[in-house]
Amino acid sequence: MKAGFQPRVICRIDDTRTLIDWANSGMGIALIPRDMIGLVPEVNLDYREIKVDSLVTRTAIIWMKDGYLSGTARHFIEALKI
């Protein structure tokens, strides 16, 4: 690998809280979005930001095509189109 080592990936988890909890208990390291660092209070973790363009993520909102949307849901979607 470019970084000079090959990580041994044992598990992939989509739940950020679980990743943080496991890292905090010493089970390994976690790769999480920067915005999630403060998600779990009272943890004893250090972090380093990985600045690689290919790791940039974007948030999306999705709903069923031609499915029913409540007025609140439609308003929310319109508010996001700023």
- pTM value is 0.60
Percent pLDDT > 70 in the chain is 98
| pLDDT of 82 above 70 | no
Q: 23-51 pLDDT, tens per residue?
A: 999 988 888 888 888 888 888 899 888 88
Q: HEC profile for the chain?
A: CCCCCCCCCCCCCCCHHHHHHHHHCCCCCCCCCHHHCCCCCCCCCCCCCCCCHHHCCCCCCCCCCCCCCCHHHHHHHHHHCC
